[in-house]
Structure 1
């Protein structure tokens, strides 16, 4: 298993997390991609997306967990991230079963 890079900025973490969430249903809609890109100031979407494609599900979760810890995210920071995730899920006007389950699972993982 390849080493998980943990020296990303908070913005890169957020973009990676949103890309991970957008792929819950195994595809990124144009609405989801546009929403993610609207959250970027300095990050390179394609670079982060390519990193995401190299990771399996376990590596993605570990990367997100490590970066949240490394950046010292508070409960408020995590809640803000989840608001953005929910907005992402709703950007294509549907909030399906897979998205709801991922949202619940991430909350359990990240709030521990």
Structure 2
């Protein structure tokens, strides 16, 4: 996978969807939080793509797009704060979500 034709908003949407689905359920609160960051059409387009991908493909796409967009440490920190807000949006930050947060933290801060 050499390039991904995502905008920064599409990348953020994909990462947030990846995180939201870590516990195999996307709550209405999580969906609303993601929609507060991006427009509905972008959300729908990226959601459709997310649904077609497996975890490995998703991780590869995230890593490739992060590199393409030259995400700096501050950008990654902001993105991780968004992930944390997403996980807290349904008032249940369970073990699966905690583990996904740690995974994304390691992945994004490489």
Q: TM-score, normalised by structure 2?
A: 0.94
Please name the residue that 1:18 is paired with.
16
Maintained 8 Å contact 1:6/1:63: yes
Please name the residue that 1:90 is paired with.
88
Q: Shift in Å at residue 44 of structure 1? A: 2.0
Partner Cα separation in structure 1 for residue 3 and residue 52 of structure 2? 12
Give 3-state SS (helix, strand or coil) of 1:24's partner: helix
RMSD: 1.5
Unaligned runs of 5+ in 1: none
For residues 53-96 of structure 1, the C-alpha deviation after alignment (integer angstroms, 9 at most, x for no partner) is: 11100111111111110000000000000000000000000100
The answer to whether structure 1 residue 73 and structure 2 residue 71 are counterparts is: yes
Maintained 8 Å contact 2:3/2:64: no
Unaligned runs of 5+ in 2: none
Partner Cα separation in structure 2 for residue 50 and residue 99 of structure 1? 22
Maintained 8 Å contact 1:4/1:59: no
> Is the helix fraction higher in 1 or 2?
2
Moved over 6 A (4+): none
